[in-house]
């Protein structure tokens, strides 16, 4: 049963409830949520739930009807996110595990780890103990294999996962393994499940060869009941009459499990299909079906593999599959998890001179901040102003690549434009902030934007036929451009990119709309300065970092996202909570939710009042408003997504 405790329950009442449940042979697990705390009581229930409901401090009791208690959606309403050394399964990201079926030697593992890491995998797999159908097949390297797996993972910053086939192997694995795997053949080895569950470490539980979904969840219950809180379910195909593939991949299990359990779900397409040419299509299908991640076999030389070579991807096939996943993930509202590269040798820790953040990794004594565009971009100017010339600006191709650079460690921070006072919001970046759950806002800077018309030396305005700029640049100079209706407008990824293209062309009929700074960088002439429609033209940029990497001791702004049910008064009720908790709402933006027609996600910028105090107090105030917002919706039977994107300082330059 699930016992929902009163919000302001006294400690002595909580202890009495726990003692009463334990006295009746129930195991008690306390789960603290944002808006409520519950006791999950499991075991042979020999008491009437009404006896619990009348105890002081109990708000209500919810019986669990499923035979699997702790694994059920009734036990825990929100999805569990399993965090394995920073790699998350169950959030909005898709995490990919890759590596060979078996550890064979050091050279093979180091090359496998390199290929996996460079292509985008966030975890390394490799079997040290191999349960094989034939007693004459390669059985693995045992303890030596575990150590080689660990060495390769550490060399490329990857946590490691390997299969455990017997409890007697725990001493040899305990100091080396981040994530244990229970294979299909051992799914119902209940004594092994008890021993591994008691370790309290994360576990992947593969579906048995012919197991039903209920049998699978009952096996997960053994792990949860034995002590671990982190179980990842893995669909790897079931045995049917069909012989065209090694097994039959049951992707319908993913949406079925979503309704039954809070546990994250990944898919193993390699063991499902048994042939490398079919692995990538089924991996993509798994992502489309809603999987939280995939685990695939990849080998530097599959034809030389001692185990499962026929279903192991070549490194170039794995790289192609990862690129395809990058394209597919945003379509289904997901992002792809990225690993954090090991810190570069000789890096010195420095802090943010503006926000007072905790130290971040640096290159040559300076913080690295990524931005979209080339030399002379407004984002580069924002970096130089925000960090008072104390940071290195790293140019990237687009906004998404800025975020990827932060996630994979090439940059400590990223500078993203979020809105302009004339052209409005940069919707792509609003969507990016919601998509990546491992990114948060840690700062904000507002920069005055002054556009100029730049052209090759010798050009004149009368001779121009083409204008190049970012779409925002055109939008901010509409009055000037209206004077030249014959000009053809060519959109570029950035204003600095426009200047670079015009300079490279040498064409006197082309001009760029960009900052005057670009004239000196690219050898162009300034034909006209100050062509923006309104001199009060400002762009607000946000500074992003990896979630949890830095903190702001005295924030004055917050950005949050939330959703409401599509019914009268929902948004009104949500906004009233900001007033109730003393938060000044300075901007509200709505964006459509991908895959949910006519539903919208709201972005709210909040100015924290003077004297709020440190980030802990400020954070409590923001989260209190969101928790109450979520509770109102849940009372109506609607689950709202609420998230704090960042608590930070805003600066104008």
Query: Could you please report the per-residue DSSP string of 120-163?
Result: T-SEEE-BSS---SSTTS----THHHHHHHHHHHHHTT--EEEE
Average pLDDT value over all residues in the chain: 85
Distance spanning both ends of the chain, measured CA to CA: 57
Q: Looking at the predicted structure, is the pLDDT value of residue 651 above 80?
A: no
Active site residue 240: no
- Using an 8 Å Cβ cutoff, are 102 and 140 in contact? yes
pLDDT at 619 over 80: no
pLDDT score of 355 more than 50: no
Highest mean pLDDT among 12-26, 413-427, 503-517: 503-517
Of 104-108, 269-273, 444-448, the poorest mean pLDDT is in 444-448
What's the pLDDT at 13?
Answer: 87
Q: Give the rounded percent of residues in the chain with a pLDDT score beyond 90.
A: 51
Reference 206, options 142, 244, 249; nearest CA is 249
pLDDT for position 578: 81
Which CATH number fits the domain 93-336, given the four candidates 3.20.20.70, 3.20.20.10, 3.30.9.10, 3.40.50.300?
3.20.20.70
Answer left, alpha or beta for residue 585, where phi above 0 means left and psi between -120 and 50 means alpha: beta
Residue limits of CATH 3.30.70.260 in the chain: 553-652
Residue 415 is predicted with a pLDDT of 96
Residue 539 designated active-site: yes
Query: In sequence order, what E strands does 449-583 have?
Result: 451-455, 466-469, 488-491, 510-515, 525-529, 538-546, 557-563
CATH code of domain 553-652? 3.30.70.260
* Residue 626 confidence class, pLDDT cut points 50, 70, 90: low
451-536 belongs to CATH 3.40.190.10: yes
pLDDT in tens, 567-611: 788 788 788 888 887 788 888 989 887 767 777 888 988 887 665
- Out of 39, 89, 399, 541, which one is annotated catalytic? 541
Residues of the chain with CATH 3.30.70.1140: 2-62
Cβ-proximal residues to 528 (8 Å cutoff; 6+ apart), any chain: 452, 453, 461, 480
Domain with CATH 3.40.190.10 in the chain: 451-536
Q: Which position among 92, 367, 495, 539 bears the catalytic label?
A: 539
Q: Tell how many helices (H) and how many strands (E) occur in the chain.
A: 20, 30
d(CA 344, CA 546): 17
* Between residues 357 and 145, the one the model is more confident about: 145
* Residue 612: pLDDT over 70: no
Domain(s) labelled CATH 3.20.20.70 in the chain stretch across: 93-336
- The Cα 34–Cα 177 span in angstroms is 32
* pLDDT tens for each residue of 223-251: 998 889 999 999 999 999 999 999 999 99
Q: Average pLDDT of 496-514?
A: 95
Tell me the average pLDDT across 207-231.
94
Q: What is the pLDDT of residue 4?
A: 83
Angle, in degrees to the nearest 10, between helices 276-289 and 315-328: 20
Residue 283: closest CA among 432, 114, 408, 97: 97
The tens digit of pLDDT for each residue in 446-484 reads 888 999 999 999 999 999 999 999 998 999 999 999 999
CATH 3.30.70.1140, domain 2-62, yes or no: yes
- What value does the mean pLDDT take over residues 301-325? 93
Single pTM value for the model: 0.63
């Amino acid at each position: 049963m699930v016992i929902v405790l009163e919000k302001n329950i006294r400690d002595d009442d909580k202890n009495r409830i726990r003692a009463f449940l334990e006295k009746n042979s129930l195991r008690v697990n306390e789960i603290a949520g944002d808006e409520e705390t519950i006791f999950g009581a499991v075991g042979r229930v020999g008491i009437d739930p009404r006896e619990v409901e009348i105890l002081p401090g109990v708000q209500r009791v919810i019986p669990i009807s499923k035979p699997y208690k702790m694994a059920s959606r009734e036990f825990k309403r929100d999805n569990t996110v399993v965090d394995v050394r920073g790699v998350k399964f169950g959030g909005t990201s898709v995490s990919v595990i890759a590596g060979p079926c078996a550890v064979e030697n050091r050279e093979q593992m180091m090359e496998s780890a390199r290929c996996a890491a460079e292509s985008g995998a966030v975890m390394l797999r490799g079997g040290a103990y191999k349960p094989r159908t034939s007693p004459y097949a390669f059985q693995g390297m045992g303890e030596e294999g575990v150590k080689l797996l660990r060495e390769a993972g550490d060399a490329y910053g990857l946590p490691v996962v390997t299969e455990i086939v017997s409890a007697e192997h725990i001493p040899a694995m305990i100091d080396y393994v981040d994530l244990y795997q229970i294979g299909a053949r051992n799914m119902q080895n209940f004594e092994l499940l008890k021993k591994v569950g008691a370790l309290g470490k994360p576990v992947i539980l593969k579906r048995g060869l012919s197991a039903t979904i209920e049998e699978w969840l009952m096996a997960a219950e053994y792990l949860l009941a034995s002590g671990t809180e982190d179980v990842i379910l893995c669909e790897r195909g079931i045995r049917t009459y069909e012989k065209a593939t090694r097994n039959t991949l049951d992707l319908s299990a993913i949406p079925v499990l979503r309704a039954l359990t809070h546990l994250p779900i990944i898919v193993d397409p390699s063991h499902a299909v048994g042939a490398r040419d079919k692995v990538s299509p089924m991996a993509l299908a798994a992502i489309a079906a809603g999987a939280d991640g995939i685990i695939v076999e990849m080998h530097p030389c599959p034809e030389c593999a001692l185990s499962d070579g026929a279903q192991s991807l070549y490194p170039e096939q794995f790289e192609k599959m990862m690129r395809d996943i990058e394209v597919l993930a945003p379509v289904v509202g997901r992002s792809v998890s990225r690993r954090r590269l090991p810190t570069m040798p000789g890096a010195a820790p420095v802090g943010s001179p503006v926000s007072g953040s905790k130290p971040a990794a640096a290159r040559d004594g300076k913080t690295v901040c990524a931005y979209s565009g080339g030399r002379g971009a407004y984002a580069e100017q924002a970096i130089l102003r925000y960090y008072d010339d104390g940071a290195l600006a790293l140019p990237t191709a687009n906004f998404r690549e800025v975020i990827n650079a932060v996630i994979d460690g090439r940059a400590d921070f990223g500078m993203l434009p979020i809105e302009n006072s004339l052209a409005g919001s940069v919707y792509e970046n609003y969507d990016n902030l919601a998509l990546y759950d491992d990114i948060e806002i840690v700062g904000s800077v507002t920069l005055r934007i002054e556009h100029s018309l730049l052209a090759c030396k010798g050009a004149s305005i009368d001779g121009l036929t083409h204008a190049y700029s970012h779409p925002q640049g055109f939008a901010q100079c509409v009055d000037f451009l209206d004077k030249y209706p014959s000009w053809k407008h060519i959109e570029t990824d950035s204003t600095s990119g426009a200047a670079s293209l015009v300079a490279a062309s040498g064409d006197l009929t082309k001009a760029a709309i960009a900052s005057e700074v670009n004239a000196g960088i690219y050898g162009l002439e300034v034909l006209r300065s100050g062509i923006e429609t309104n001199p009060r033209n400002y762009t607000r940029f946000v500074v992003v970092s990896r979630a949890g990497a830095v903190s702001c001791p005295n924030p004055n702004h917050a950005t949050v996202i939330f959703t409401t049910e599509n019914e009268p008064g929902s948004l009104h009720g949500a906004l009233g909570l900001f007033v109730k908790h003393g938060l000044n709402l300075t901007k509200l933006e709505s964006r459509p939710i991908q895959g949910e027609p006519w539903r919208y996600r709201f972005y709210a910028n909040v100015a924290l009042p003077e004297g709020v105090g440190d980030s802990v107090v400020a954070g409590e105030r923001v989260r209190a408003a969101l928790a109450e917002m979520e509770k109102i919706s849940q009372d109506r039977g609607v689950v709202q997504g609420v998230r704090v994107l960042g608590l930070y300082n805003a600066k104008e330059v």
